[in-house]
Structure 1
């Protein structure tokens, strides 16, 4: 990318944005300083009162406390013995992963109750299809959930790219952690800890199929490890495939459905193969069936909803995938105090999405069909003449003769982290230096598209050459060579099909991303206080990220990146070439101060303070801190609280993603317009007669740079207060509860929908420049760049109960129940503007942000007796609703009636599995059934994804059987 845009971005917005928050940061800085001073003063007082106080945290066994090897728990940089800290962490171990039967990590993690909103998965076809699964803690979006592998940033946000057979455990931190990890850790952190020690070889194979006889999956994995006095090496390989499932194979997704006037109707598309034609008198007609060749007016009848096109059977409720993992983790002891290590994993994923054949909207797609086209029986122009800007009658059709639009995605993901770490003799101090390199290449082959320029030529004036008897492009005075006129009025006629196939183009687009990060850190004890030693962890980091969006097919490059940004040489599959990079330098530190220990009502009292300074090349500098308190009034009870500043700089895609086109189902806010909002309804008649001619609007998504939008960082605060109770009188029982709250300002919104843009423009005159209407008022397309939109506030409660016990007769049992209550999820895109009301998402489905039922839960019961094991999992999704009773929100469950709310009941999914160990043969066999009751997802109708439901939340496959065999030797 040229240097001047980056320079402009920094000079315009980096420093002014940050100085608005200087006072708040100084206040927190002084608070941290005061807390540290108070802690030291309190410790000194205790020392004066009792100089014989214990110098370790375990009074019952002082020597043990001194020799235990500490670990770093996700959410902190401090190495310590305690497993329960101020950080609310949920852990999923390798046994739980195996018992779940899930073929990919994403399928497992997305079941957690703390995850909500629009985290993508392989069930997302239109707008997905890469086989990826992401994580959205608190529903704040996957861009606000930081994913780590062994405590280091994952280069590719797809958690399915992490090899499942290499995972030792997964730690999920549901708290803001910008002071510890920097940008993105707002909703929380998911840390995948990989196996670094294994002896032997393990082979595993699995197979699954739905009760409908589709969605077959197959998998094979191998794990091997060697250990010696100076080395440990673990290598793994796996291969997985998943077959597609068509939307037409499920009753709930067979048709596009909508609620209209209280009735369920088939929605369909006006882009039908027989055409939707606006006649000279303003009426709409469509071609009769069975007509071939050139058409006349007599070949058409009045268009009705029965003529609409059902595009649903062409979509998928499960995208096909083929994934291969290769990984290696190795450690070598260079000296007794120095270890060299390396983590390497590589993933290749092939996946695809399929949607209906290309629709043509002459006005929406800016095509011009001349009245002098030889095949035009209507004698009027259609569409938009880009040379003059004139807009004429509507004409829609669908090129079914070209087949479906197919997107074949191949993703190559490599992450390599070599490093060296050491310790000092006679000291608690340890140090580490590593280099984290990530490379992602994604290539998409697009099928079923046309050369825009050639297609436009073929639609223009054409005539019958009297000398040759051949229909020719152009006019008799100016014929056009190498051009075959297209009879767009009869797209399935053999002659039209032949002409269209001459201008088919299958563009190839690509995405390249590189991350390079170098980090040095150290941690250890500073000095002793009466309650124990003060621990310090500190480090320096430098990271550079770069990205390129482009195409290997020159014709797919946008012909104009100005007024028609994103309109390109390929019908609908528009894209611009864009690249850019940024870097960040960071310094961080965290200290754990033991204030009191082994005192009445103060079994322990610890203060945890951390801070991180970040300097972004495009987003300015910022300092974010945290203060956490851990208090054990008795040994069994921990009371904890954390207050953190959180921060997120625009990521590389939000800045530098190129323009890409598509379609989005949405209702034009100007339907029935009678005046009063000229910016939102430009060129729309004011007599109330205006009606949107197609439920799918053309959109142009992009990063902020491509749209010329000055994107700012977002800031906020995170609060977490909770308790952990582990009663000594009932071993095996543990209970925790945490109240959390997150407030964000200047929220970065990626993936806006047209409804939000139209509402912003209609009610507050904001973002109006993103709406592009033709001369007759119909929306040509809407730009959907990444923007800053106001404030976001969320709060709720997390609870966890775990209990395990063993009996001689009935075996071992372990049970757990995780639950999340969403008390609030509010978004205000224009604070202070009375015309823009706060959107309340808690307990409902919000089109932009996803679904936020009040209650979510995940229960598990495991049993083991000798060689037998069994597991039962219950996933609970609470009640929700679609639509808003407030008409001004422009969000109704009914297409024709404002303010309609559609209530959706609670859902519970039950999964069962069982296994048997053949000890003699070192073999384990497991079988399972997911979604035992074969529950169909609830209907969201026009507000759902392509399958009429919320594919981000509910199971679309139905009852699913699986089995797995594992051999170890």
Structure 2
């Protein structure tokens, strides 16, 4: 399942050991590093996306739960997860399965095909290919019972958080209150003096409840949690993975592995609110009594009295409102050569890994267009169904972005057994690597023009050179002494 649904790294699934964050657990594939997901967890922690691994080709998973930073670097403070893929495969396998949840939603459809031929022992080579498809339908909170399907937890001693009139929690039917202009300014900077209680902008409709509270007035409450929000997103995944393994001689074997994985994640949340605090504050926004052409504003029920209308409103008519579409491509190529030289077991590998994540966000308000539509009356708050597709498209343009990460690494390792000890044979391992990492994540909301959307930017690259060594002595069958060390040199901030 997706570990990050609507967070900074939406559309991905990570792993974390020892109660630490995902960036403290190193994920390897056949002992080699992978490029991180193009969006950082919480906007600052890089991690490996497990969704981008061809799962059907996984033979086993090895987990080193102890800290391994002295061997693998600071990214392995929490531990190491090494995903071992099939080295060889012979035969044909096709599987299909389908399942759903008892309460509805989350229906999963999966199909896999794997075929391989050749024998290292008899033919000196083996080739296999793995093709995968998986689709998981969303789980809506409306498909689950209390308390998941509502924001009203008052029956169990909690708060009633159902949107209606709290700042930034308007319904799609809107609520307005009369006000007069205290300090002149534009729609965002002008200061208004409230002059009465709230009332619905239009009659409460399906999915809402007419509510009146002392000191606030009347408005429509709406259970967004049970009407719009998801517990789990829709995920569609395609993967193809191929490997050619060849035997050079009795002591040397190599392989070339290539994979391409596409994962599409579609999330949905509640409609955009006219009141927000990011990147600008619009909690005091109001409809003016006069439009830009000096005509009375038909959206302002207090216009005849030359009063502004403080407004709390959710835009339920925007195309694709509250939806997020992520399409991640992960392309990986590995060339590996390993074998024995005397008592030494050695391994050398080169890895090229590129990820590309396309994001499309729908239903966010363009601040400049919102101001213009309010001043000109182009957007009809009283009858949203009359708004033209062109008006809605201008008010809420699709926000698109493409973020990438790249990894290129060459590594060499060697290990051997030494002398016998009471608990077994001592051993030594040595390693060296050079690596290039880069990340390009431009701003999704350049200029801060989308209301309710922050910005994260990550653009940069560095080169890393590292050497490491480990000496292991089994003093007893139940007691092992281990000495290890690692040195990293980063091109951007030292060693």
Give the alignment's TM-score, normalised by structure 1: 0.42
Kindly report the root-mean-square deviation, in angstroms, between the aligned alpha carbons of the 2 structures.
3.2
User: For structure 2, which runs of at least 5 residues remain unmatched after alignment?
Assistant: 37-47, 180-192, 205-213, 292-296
**Equivalenced residues, count:** 439
1:266–1:334 distance in 2 versus 1, CA, 3 Å: same
What residue is the counterpart of 2:359 in the other structure? 444
Question: Which secondary structure does the structure 2 equivalent of 1:179 belong to?
Answer: helix
Distance 2:477 2:54 in 1: 42
Shift of 1:398: 0.9
Distance 1:545 1:436 in 2: 12
* 1:322 correspondence with 2:236: yes
What residue is the counterpart of 1:359 in the other structure? 273
Shift of 1:534: 4.2
1:128–1:237 distance in 2 versus 1, CA, 3 Å: farther
Residues 766-805 of structure 1 correspond to what in structure 2 (within 5 A)?
none
Distance 2:333 2:197 in 1: 60
User: For structure 1, which runs of at least 5 residues remain unmatched after alignment?
Assistant: 1-106, 108-119, 292-300, 383-393, 461-472, 474-483, 560-566, 596-601, 622-969
Distance 1:174 1:529 in 2: 27
What residue is the counterpart of 1:421 in the other structure? 338
Shift of 1:138: 2.5
Distance 2:218 2:247 in 1: 73
Distance 1:185 1:261 in 2: 42
Larger radius of gyration: 1
* 1:558 correspondence with 2:453: no
* 1:149 correspondence with 2:26: no
* 1:238 correspondence with 2:94: no
1:581–1:258 distance in 2 versus 1, CA, 3 Å: farther
Summarize deviations over 1:293-330 as a string: whole Å, max 9, x none. xxxxxxxx974586333211211122111111111232
Larger helix fraction of residues: 1
Summarize deviations over 1:411-447 as a string: whole Å, max 9, x none. 10122211222322xx211222211221111111222
What residue is the counterpart of 1:267 in the other structure? 162
1:512–1:498 distance in 2 versus 1, CA, 3 Å: closer
Distance 2:130 2:137 in 1: 24
What residue is the counterpart of 1:309 in the other structure? 222
Residues 544-623 of structure 1 correspond to what in structure 2 (within 5 A)?
544-550=436-442, 557-559=445-447, 567-568=448-449, 570-575=450-455, 578-595=458-475, 602=476, 606-621=480-495
Summarize deviations over 1:383-402 as a string: whole Å, max 9, x none. xxxxxxxxxxx642111121
Distance 1:150 1:437 in 2: 14
* 1:219 correspondence with 2:136: no
Contact 1:485 1:499 in 2 (8 A): yes
Contact 2:199 2:218 in 1 (8 A): no
Contact 1:542 1:586 in 2 (8 A): yes
Shift of 1:604: 7.3
What residue is the counterpart of 2:410 in the other structure? 518
- 1:486 equivalent among 361, 372, 379: 379
- 2:145 equivalent among 243, 247, 251: 251
Question: Which secondary structure does the structure 2 equivalent of 1:308 belong to?
Answer: strand
Residues 715-864 of structure 1 correspond to what in structure 2 (within 5 A)?
none
Shift of 1:128: 7.4
What residue is the counterpart of 1:397 in the other structure? 313
1:400–1:590 distance in 2 versus 1, CA, 3 Å: same
Question: Which secondary structure does the structure 1 equivalent of 2:384 belong to?
Answer: coil
Summarize deviations over 1:432-463 as a string: whole Å, max 9, x none. 22112211111112222343322222223xxx
Contact 1:360 1:396 in 2 (8 A): yes
Summarize deviations over 1:522-552 as a string: whole Å, max 9, x none. 1124x5366565422111112221111237x
Shift of 1:141: 1.6
Distance 2:111 2:390 in 1: 45
* 1:538 correspondence with 2:425: no
Contact 1:163 1:327 in 2 (8 A): yes
1:284–1:326 distance in 2 versus 1, CA, 3 Å: farther
Distance 1:302 1:369 in 2: 19
Contact 1:196 1:330 in 2 (8 A): no
Structure 1 moving runs of 4+ over 6 Å: none
* 1:197 correspondence with 2:91: no
Contact 1:487 1:496 in 2 (8 A): no
Distance 1:603 1:191 in 2: 25
Give the alignment's TM-score, normalised by structure 2: 0.79
Distance 1:459 1:288 in 2: 15
1:363–1:371 distance in 2 versus 1, CA, 3 Å: farther
Question: Which secondary structure does the structure 2 equivalent of 1:137 belong to?
Answer: coil
1:159–1:497 distance in 2 versus 1, CA, 3 Å: closer
Distance 1:180 1:381 in 2: 66
Distance 1:266 1:366 in 2: 21
Contact 1:150 1:192 in 2 (8 A): yes
What residue is the counterpart of 2:398 in the other structure? 506
Distance 1:529 1:129 in 2: 49
